[in-house]
Structure 1
Amino acid sequence: MLDVTTISDGACPLFSIIIPLEFHRGQWEQSWLGWTSQTADRSLYEIILVVPPDFTGHAELKALAAGQARLEFADSVHDIGLCAAGAARARGRYLFFTESHCWPEPDVIALCIRAIDDHPDWAGFSCRSVPVCHNRLSEAEAAMYQADIEFGMKQHPWRKVLDQCFVTQHDVYRECGGLREELGHFAEWVLAAGYHARGYAIGYLEEARFHHYYIGRIGELKTFTLDFVQGESRFLSGDRHDPGSDLLEAPFEWKDRDNFDRPLAFNALNAMVRYSLPRLSWKWPDEELRALWRWSGPALFGDRRVRVAAFLAAAYARLVLTALTAVGSRDAIARWMKRYIASLIHLQRLVCISRVRGHTRSAKKLLGDQVLAQLGFHELESAAGHAFRWSEPQAAVRIKGAPGRNTVCVRSPALREPLDKIGVQFYLDGAPLDRAAIESSLDRYMLSLDLPQTGIAILAWACPEFRGIGDVRRLGLPVVDIEVNPGARGSAQEDSGLSAAISHTTDASDRD
């Protein structure tokens, strides 16, 4: 059992309550009164008020909190940055993160002490958020976010860090990297993933209740979602090697971002046209027309077309939501609130991706470390003992090798027919590869090609469309990975040795 007497007699308190005073929504005094009305002994916890540089109520703050709280001044103007600054200066064995527009019920500290005794396996836990609403928009906002909170606390396997009311062991928080200001509110998800990956359990203390004030303004909703999406973008575009990074799955906008890479799309379009024209009569079949439409848009406009469509959808949803706040029903407001937020997140992700395109680094290479970008691929799947991705009938990859002659190995299991019977044609930076430079075997294509001085080029291919049974996708080649090796192919015996070495390496990787 936790000996609170010993703790209270020592130099360090049990809890450090960290309250950032940014974005307080006019509720910071209510929050303060909630903490000074706790039934637990006051010596068990310290209150740290973290003050941003733009806080305007300094005189009132000093008069209200004099002698009862530590004022820590920080350069950050973001809640997450202020929380991180407060945690760095906290003395408690447990950190208690909250927000200045939230206030606890009087028994929260007492319940938290009991939870520490009852759940020694918990490295941290979140408390229950009780919404406080004052207009119909805030009611819809609360319903939307409360549903997400309930899902995270009760169903999701690890997404249980709620910065409205999160308690954690101080040393575990430091070990897991803490809250990262540059990630905004997405930092909560990253921290939760870090706890889970390291084997630390986060609980949910439903009986400890916090009141959370929802502001109910469309502009504030937009600001919050942009903050979250920008943090997500910084995380996904960086090097992700910390424990838990693999738990944060990229949304479809990020998975498909290379499909709007204009040079890649142009090469896929070029491959489709050059491959199809000699095989066409005066009328183009529907599949060629679909492929022409598929690649001409990204080749000509990149992602501008989808960004314009996303902007119009978000603008329309906001216009309807604004009108409904004046004359609509509660159900209609709730429905269009979700629609607006979903369209806004989609738009903001596309904008963020557009800004970082060409500067992103992927911790997981989809087709190998020498493939810098890829266009025209479906999701990873398994069949006949192979893990692979189907390409579309036209696809393109940006590869990196040594300047000059290279051998490119495209591992492609023969799932549709023997590789030499498919009729695939490869193109390098738009020019078709000579047939003599392409050699197929049981499960791979070996290509001899010359890369420019940068060592970077675009390899594209086109082949007849393949339809799986009950599969509506446009399929081309199944691709396991792509390797680029300096030098030309040697004799048949050397080629066999190279293929065997590559097969041994990749098979061992598959077993791992």
Structure 2
Amino acid sequence: MQDVPARHGGGSPLFSIIIPLEYHRGQWEQSWLGWTSQTADKSLYEIILVVPPEFKGREELKALAGDEARLEFTDSEHDIGLCAFGATKARGSHLFFTESHCWPEADVIEQCIRAIELHPDWAGFSCHSIPICHNRLSKAEAAMYQADIEFGMTQHPWRKVLDQCFVTRRDVYWECGGLRKELGHFAEWVLAAAYHARGHTIGYLQEARFHHYYIGEIGELKTFTLDFVEGEIRYLGEARRDPGSELLEVPVEWVEWVGFDRSLARAAMNALAHYSLAGRGWKRPGEKLRAFWQWGTLALCGDLPARLAARLAVMQAQAGLSALILIGSSEAIAKWMRRYIASLIHLQRLECIRRLRGQAGPAARFLGDRVLGQAGFHALESSAGHSFRWSEPQAAVRIRGSEGRNIVRIRSPALRASLREIGPHFYLDGARVGGAAIAIGADVYTIELDLPASGTAILAWSCPLLRGIGDTRRLGLAVESIEVSRDTGSSIQSEPGQQSRVVAGPLKPD
């Protein structure tokens, strides 16, 4: 193994071990001892201690490190920011990211050198994390996170970056954008997705073992989840299309957020009211009343009821968890901790999205680049070779086109019936769209619309209710995309396979 560094030239080490000294949980000295006790030749690695501005014990740290480590000082106060800064100072061909509340076993460097030799196809790899617990909550915390780590390392197709102990070729790290400090711990997922999208393999080295200290405090759980969620929502708000961005799952709160737009809710309720007055609607009045209640509540209150319910769920879960820590069984503590984390993430997403409101328009375009917002849509799903979102029987979208005449194409696979049989009524800024402006094809509604000077308007529709088998949702149209373009002709042009007949309304009653 001693010939490995010779290939890197210039006297540079093989590894740059980057240790951020934030969140050390009182374990940084233990971490330091783990690194200075490595059995591998010390010329193979350098240790970079990245020190945040408020780190206590700087003089003790300098005395302890001596000539065995480089100290780098930065204004960043977050582990990810410290790691990102440390990477800019590294000289090794491989970066080794870890945390200061983790410590390696003595043969970790040797195991990593062996892995590089045996797996030249690996652009990076994560090591094996062993939990260190000291109270009942830390045991439950470790069980939950270790299960997630194990799933990521052994089953998930790309979520392989574990910042407790992650080794990567330095050139690939920079090629994939590196760790973005503004994303907090969500930056790990973004980086992992970028590696996968660019065709780089991240391995899992179980032989290299790290001990990870779990603190077991409710406040720390809250801080960590908020950090992750803030990064997640900030990333979604950027609407970036970097390699790997398509792999990151959009949380349901982000999809539902646009439905809290009061003006869109009013447009959907207006569509429901006009549709009902036209003699259309559900056979059961109770369904109609529930729809009026739903849209009326959203139109009046926006996301307030959802946020209040989420906050109440967090309070209940935290109270239950706190009581169980004192008197409950280990199984009960684990169950309620998962409940607490889930409710906390839900609330934090709603709050972060609310703070981002007004900046997140581009990222909310789930149905096309010309759709600025939408209300009344379910999550993305696939069926019969189509990827689409079911709308509710009433839905509304804010579209942007050009001033004057535009063509709007709502692409909708005919999964429930032919589009002609469904026969939705369309409304532009509250006014019914005339039948002469609508053409119905095999899988597309093509509509001529006159948009105002701003080029922005709200298009809403109402259609009969569909209940799927074993599905409690209220379904309307299956929508693949909504396209808006300037009208370059004098009338609606039929597309291949389209029925050219223009119809004025639904041909089949409820």
Instruction: Mark yes or no: TM-score above 0.5.
Output: yes
1:435 CA drift (Å): 3.6
CA, structure 1 residues 469+187, in 2 after alignment: closer, same or farther (shift >3 Å)?
A: closer
Structure 2 equivalent of residue 51 of structure 1: 51
Structure 2: distance between partners of 1:391 and 1:329: 44
Structure 2: distance between partners of 1:41 and 1:128: 22
| 2:480 is the alignment partner of 1:496 | no
1:419 CA drift (Å): 4.1
Structure 1: distance between partners of 2:474 and 2:261: 20
Structure 2: distance between partners of 1:323 and 1:131: 24
Q: Cα deviations across residues 341-378 of structure 1 (Å, max 9, x unaligned)?
A: 11101110111111212321556843222111122223
Letter of the aligned partner of 2:437 in structure 1? A
Structure 2 equivalent of residue 108 of structure 1: 108
Letter of the aligned partner of 2:159 in structure 1? R
CA, structure 1 residues 369+6, in 2 after alignment: closer, same or farther (shift >3 Å)?
A: closer
Deviates more, 1:440-449 or 1:131-140: 440-449
Kept after mapping to 2: 8 A contact 1:8/1:44: no
Q: Secondary structure at the match of 2:220?
A: helix
Structure 1 equivalent of residue 135 of structure 2: 135
What TM-score comes out, normalization by structure 2 length?
0.91
1:121 CA drift (Å): 1.3
Structure 2 equivalent of residue 338 of structure 1: 338
Deviates more, 1:76-85 or 1:429-438: 429-438
1:119 CA drift (Å): 1.3
Structure 2 equivalent of residue 241 of structure 1: 241
Deviates more, 1:70-79 or 1:326-335: 326-335
Deviates more, 1:284-293 or 1:97-106: 284-293
| 2:166 is the alignment partner of 1:166 | yes
CA, structure 1 residues 2+391, in 2 after alignment: closer, same or farther (shift >3 Å)?
A: farther
Structure 2 equivalent of residue 93 of structure 1: 93
1:451 CA drift (Å): 1.8
CA, structure 1 residues 288+472, in 2 after alignment: closer, same or farther (shift >3 Å)?
A: same
Letter of the aligned partner of 2:38 in structure 1? Q
Structure 2: distance between partners of 1:349 and 1:208: 35
CA, structure 1 residues 169+2, in 2 after alignment: closer, same or farther (shift >3 Å)?
A: farther
| 2:378 is the alignment partner of 1:378 | yes
Structure 2 equivalent of residue 507 of structure 1: none
Structure 1: distance between partners of 2:218 and 2:399: 44
In structure 2, the gaps of 5 or more residues are: 500-510
Aligned residues: 498
Structure 2 equivalent of residue 509 of structure 1: none
Structure 1: distance between partners of 2:244 and 2:278: 51
Structure 2 equivalent of residue 299 of structure 1: 299
1:502 CA drift (Å): 10
CA, structure 1 residues 65+406, in 2 after alignment: closer, same or farther (shift >3 Å)?
A: same
Structure 2: distance between partners of 1:414 and 1:8: 60
Structure 2: distance between partners of 1:415 and 1:204: 43
Letter of the aligned partner of 2:25 in structure 1? R
Structure 1 equivalent of residue 316 of structure 2: 316
Structure 2: distance between partners of 1:150 and 1:136: 21
Kept after mapping to 1: 8 A contact 2:264/2:398: yes
CA, structure 1 residues 418+223, in 2 after alignment: closer, same or farther (shift >3 Å)?
A: closer
Q: Secondary structure at the match of 2:225?
A: helix
Letter of the aligned partner of 2:368 in structure 1? G
Q: Cα deviations across residues 260-288 of structure 1 (Å, max 9, x unaligned)?
A: 2211111111111121134389x971221
1:117 CA drift (Å): 1.1
CA, structure 1 residues 470+57, in 2 after alignment: closer, same or farther (shift >3 Å)?
A: closer
Structure 2 equivalent of residue 462 of structure 1: 462
1:176-191 to 2 correspondence within 5 Å?
A: 176-191=176-191
CA, structure 1 residues 255+20, in 2 after alignment: closer, same or farther (shift >3 Å)?
A: same
| 2:26 is the alignment partner of 1:26 | yes
Structure 1: distance between partners of 2:328 and 2:472: 41
CA, structure 1 residues 413+156, in 2 after alignment: closer, same or farther (shift >3 Å)?
A: closer
1:468 CA drift (Å): 4.9
Q: Secondary structure at the match of 1:496?
A: coil
Deviates more, 1:104-113 or 1:367-376: 367-376
1:385 CA drift (Å): 6.3
Kept after mapping to 2: 8 A contact 1:7/1:44: no
CA, structure 1 residues 197+421, in 2 after alignment: closer, same or farther (shift >3 Å)?
A: closer
Q: Secondary structure at the match of 1:237?
A: helix
Structure 2 equivalent of residue 508 of structure 1: none
Q: CA RMSD in A?
A: 2.5
Structure 2 equivalent of residue 510 of structure 1: none
1:352-367 to 2 correspondence within 5 Å?
A: 352-362=352-362, 365-367=365-367
Structure 2 equivalent of residue 17 of structure 1: 17
Kept after mapping to 2: 8 A contact 1:53/1:77: yes
1:253 CA drift (Å): 1.3
CA, structure 1 residues 3+420, in 2 after alignment: closer, same or farther (shift >3 Å)?
A: same
| Identity score, percent | 68
CA, structure 1 residues 291+92, in 2 after alignment: closer, same or farther (shift >3 Å)?
A: same
Structure 2: distance between partners of 1:115 and 1:501: 57
Q: Cα deviations across residues 481-507 of structure 1 (Å, max 9, x unaligned)?
A: 32223348624xxx336x45999xxxx
Letter of the aligned partner of 2:112 in structure 1? C
1:56 CA drift (Å): 1.6
In structure 1, the gaps of 5 or more residues are: 504-512
Structure 1: distance between partners of 2:129 and 2:422: 59
Structure 2 equivalent of residue 153 of structure 1: 153
CA, structure 1 residues 383+41, in 2 after alignment: closer, same or farther (shift >3 Å)?
A: closer
Structure 1 equivalent of residue 203 of structure 2: 203
Deviates more, 1:245-254 or 1:468-477: 468-477
CA, structure 1 residues 385+64, in 2 after alignment: closer, same or farther (shift >3 Å)?
A: closer
Structure 1 equivalent of residue 42 of structure 2: 42
Structure 1 equivalent of residue 347 of structure 2: 347
Q: Cα deviations across residues 273-317 of structure 1 (Å, max 9, x unaligned)?
A: 121134389x97122122112322222111111111010100111
Deviates more, 1:67-76 or 1:412-421: 412-421
Structure 2 equivalent of residue 229 of structure 1: 229
Kept after mapping to 2: 8 A contact 1:407/1:489: no
Deviates more, 1:15-24 or 1:357-366: 357-366
Structure 2: distance between partners of 1:150 and 1:436: 59
Structure 2: distance between partners of 1:155 and 1:341: 22
CA, structure 1 residues 40+415, in 2 after alignment: closer, same or farther (shift >3 Å)?
A: closer
